[in-house]
Every structure is written in structure tokens, then in C-alpha cells.
Amino acid sequence: MSATLRRTPDTERRERLPAAWSGRDRRAPDPLAQLSRRLEGACQGAVQPLELAAILEAEGYTDQLVRTRFGTPDVFACAQLLYRRVPFRPPDVTASTLPRPVPLGRDLTRGVIYLMPALWTPFALPLTPGMGAAQVTTAGLLTATLFGWGWMQGVAYRGYQALVRGPAPAARTLAVAGVQATVLTAALAAGVAWMLDLPVLLTAGVALAMGTYLASATALLVLGQEARLLLTALPVAALILADLSGVVQAPQWLTLLLAVGGPLLAAAQTVIRAGRPAAAVATRSGRALLYATYGWLCAAFLAARLLNPWQPGGADLSGMMGLSWSVAPLVLGMGVLEFTLRGLHRGLGDCARRTDPVGVIRARAARFLSGRVALFTAGLALTYLLVALLSPRLGGPVLAPELLTGHVLVGGALLLSGYLINVSLLGGALLAWAGALGAQVAVREAGLAPDPAYLLGAVVAALLCGLLTTWAVRDARHLT
């Protein structure tokens, strides 16, 4: 920022001035005063002129542009005037808004929680015997995965929004939205079963069971009850271990009751104990729908390979214990992903608070982000290398290298898209996963094998998320 930008003569490049601002900004005749009102929040919170210089650059201002409009020699001089003109106002930080440090153990616990449905699904969800069990279970799980998982992303967003007002409003919001999402999931599964000429009630029952579990788990996770949710898995885990060891033959209905009923009872007790909110809670439903869409896209991308809807009965009951288990390290890694993401934001914030030139800050932030992403993906790749070596020796299936490489790339893309969402670039994350899903579906329709198609889609997701993240870190506002 200390050196002037290289420019071409005016005859070769004419820069356009920003469009005139409307509203209260137009009351100030001085263009610099208009700019200070437009960037009022950034000017009040800036601790050095370099922050404002970075924001001006991100807004498209160059030395020539600020010289023409504001009469300052360069962008940095303009930033210094803004810094002196607007008094510093520290943010209003209260005890209720201070971020609480989250230990690594809690993040790892969440990773185990995310994997829990895979433990009891093969034992509890074949609700019908015979040849039709695979189709019924596939239809129910596919519906619950595509719709329920995405919908719960929106439910969680509404819950976190309400949590700002206290646990009682959050609990009530999660209860109402969770019931709605569960009922809609079951209704959609019934419609899918009717179109595919499958048993409607049994298919809807599979989706209802999974939807109920997802709604209960979402409520407990948002309200910070991870330990309680994990405790509800102990009875069903003990029953499954006893069944596998031959001690007892676990009834299917009992496995399902413990797997779904335990979290449901814990969530209901948590909501009741939270009490009734003093007033109705208003949340941004439109924004919640965007978060749900993000969940739908991610779920559809994984389901397109794991449930293999192109092949009838592709997700048979043995496949649930085989191919679908390949995603277990990725799911367990979600806890590490959340921990990495928090450390990533802390490190980028430290970069933004340094007194170096803006270009140096950007380069340091980009290197820090690349290093953290590389470290996370390297750990995930090492885990999948061990899976590839040990799975055949332990009697498991031989997993294709394309599938495992795709899982590693998906993990990296999820980390980058998490960063994009946290810096208010949810639209970019939606674009990346929509492109990845579209690429996978397109090459599958063209006749490409499932594993190479999945790998190609993962490459598209990683590339798009990487490009969007590279663009995002150039804006200093995305470093804090």
C-alpha cells in the first residue's frame, strides 16, 4: 500500500466513478463525508488506517480514482483521512456475546455423534423381510438423507439465531421446526414410495425414524447437550455388541426404539426444562432455507455415490455395512474440521491485526490458510491410506482408490466451504456444491463409472471452494 499502483494513461483506460449513493449519504455534499457515512461501521471499528485502505481496495478504489473524487494523492492517504475523521467506537461486547472456547474433546465428541446413525441403521431399519427390504430401506434412507439432513441445517440455523435470546426461545424454535421437518420428511418419503410402487407405510416409517433422530440430535447439539446425546447411544451400542457376539438376539423393534427413542426423550426433556419463552421468537426463515439448501447439496453429492440411485437396489443391506462405511473417517473428521475452522479464524484474525502493509497481510493470511487446509487434508489422507490397507485384511471390501481420494477432497472442500459460510459467503458455497453435484450427475448420465464420477465431482468441489476462498482472503473484512 505504500507504493502507488501502476496505471495506464487516461486515454487507454477510463475508470468509472461509483454510482451515487442514496438515502442519508446524499445529505453530505462532501464526497469524503459521503464515503465516511457509507463505511461508518468499518471506520468506527478500525484500529489503524491500513484496515480502511484494505477495505477501499476491496471496494474497487484505486489511487487515480480517489485522487479524482476525493482529492487525495493515493488510497492510503484517503484511508488516513477517514481514520482521523470518524472517532473510534469499540464494539459492544457483553458476557452473553463473548465467544466461549470450545475444547478439542467436545469437537471430537461431535464427530462420534455424527457417525452414530451408521452404527444402528443396518440393525434397526430393515422394517420388512424379504427381497423388498433393500428397496424400502434405500428409498427411506435416500429421502431422509437428501431432505432431512438439509432441512436440519436450516433448523440448526434458526436454533442458533434464537439462542441469542436465551435457551428457552431456542428450545421452542428447535422443537417446532424439528417436528415440522420430520413430518415433511416422512410425507415426502411416502410420495416417493407411491411413485416407485413400494410399501408406502414402511418407506415412510424408515424416513420418519431417521428424521426423528436427526431432529432430536439437532436440538441437543444446538443446546450444547453433546454428552447427553452420546449417553443415549450407550444402550443401543450395548445391544448391538451383544447381538454381534452371539450373547442375545436383539429384536429389531427394540434396537429401533433405543436408537430413536433415547435421543427423542432426551431432547423432549431438554426442551421442557428450558421453559416457555416470554415472547414469540422471530427468525430469518429465508436465510434458514439457504442453509437447508447447502445441506441438501452436500447430502445429495454423497448419496449419489453411496446410495447409487442409478442402480435399482444399489444400497442393499450389506452395502450399508460395506461401501457406506468408507465415509466413516470423513464423518469422524467433522469434529476435527470444526476445531480446525475455529483455529483458522483465530489465525486469520491475528494476521489482520498486524501493522504490516496490506499486501504482506494478504500473503501471510493466504499461506496460513493454505497450511491449515493442507494439514487437515493430509491427516484425512493418512487415515484413508490406513483404511485402504486394513479393510481387506479385516474382512472388509476392497475400496477403490478413486472413492477414497474423493472422500479426502470432499473433506477439504467442506473445510473451505465452512470458511466461506462463516465470512458470509454462503452463496459461494452453494455455487461450489451445486457445480460439484452437477458434474457428478452429468458424467454418470454419460456412462462414467460411479467411483471416477464421484472423484471428478470432488475435484470440482475442491477447485471451486479453493478459488472462492482465494478471492475471499483478499478482502481484509474476511480475515476477522
Q: In whole angstroms, what is the distance from residue 429 CA to residue 202 CA?
A: 35
- Greater pLDDT, 227 or 378: 378
- Listed residue (232, 235, 296, 275) closest to 429, CA to CA: 296
Task: For residue range 207-256, list pLDDT tens digits in order.
Answer: 888 889 888 988 988 888 888 888 888 888 888 888 878 777 777 778 88
Query: Is residue 96 included in any domain, yes or no?
Result: no
Same domain (yes/no): 65, 115? no
Same domain (yes/no): 175, 115? yes
- Listed residue (265, 245, 249) closest to 257, CA to CA: 265
Same domain (yes/no): 129, 275? yes
| Mean of pLDDT values over 92-107 | 51
Same domain (yes/no): 119, 77? no
When the pLDDT of each residue in the chain is averaged and rounded to a whole number, the result is: 78
- Greater pLDDT, 170 or 374: 374
- Cβ(197)–Cβ(312) under 8 Å? no
* Confidence label for 402 from pLDDT (cuts 50, 70 and 90): very high
pLDDT beyond 50 at 192: yes
Which pLDDT score is estimated for 10? 36
Boundary residue ending a domain (91, 120, 155): 91
Same domain (yes/no): 157, 28? no
* Confidence label for 132 from pLDDT (cuts 50, 70 and 90): low
* Confidence label for 430 from pLDDT (cuts 50, 70 and 90): very high
* Confidence label for 434 from pLDDT (cuts 50, 70 and 90): very high
Lowest mean pLDDT across 51-65, 251-265, 312-326, 398-412: 312-326
> How many residues make up the chain in this entry?
480
Query: Is residue 315 included in any domain, yes or no?
Result: no
Query: Is residue 99 included in any domain, yes or no?
Result: no
Same domain (yes/no): 372, 233? no
pLDDT > 90 in the chain, percent: 18
Structural domains of the chain, count: 3
Task: For residue range 307-324, list pLDDT tens digits in order.
Answer: 666 565 444 444 444 566
Query: Is residue 100 included in any domain, yes or no?
Result: no
By residue range, what is the domain housing residue 420? 322-480
Same domain (yes/no): 170, 195? yes
Same domain (yes/no): 117, 72? no
Q: In whole angstroms, what is the distance from residue 26 CA to residue 36 CA?
A: 12
Q: Which amino acid type is present at position 223?
A: L
Residue with cell string 460411479: 450
Q: In whole angstroms, what is the distance from residue 460 CA to residue 37 CA?
A: 41
Which pLDDT score is estimated for 12? 35
Strands (E), 33-175: none
* Confidence label for 134 from pLDDT (cuts 50, 70 and 90): low
Q: Which helix (H) or strand (E) holds 250?
A: none
- Cβ(148)–Cβ(188) under 8 Å? no
- Cβ(126)–Cβ(137) under 8 Å? yes
Boundary residue ending a domain (275, 292, 309): 292
* Confidence label for 128 from pLDDT (cuts 50, 70 and 90): low
- Per DSSP, the residues of 166-184 read -HHHHHHHHHHHHHHHHHH
Same domain (yes/no): 29, 127? no
- Listed residue (234, 296, 223) closest to 262, CA to CA: 234
Lowest mean pLDDT across 45-59, 284-298, 311-325: 311-325
Same domain (yes/no): 260, 407? no
Which pLDDT score is estimated for 432? 96
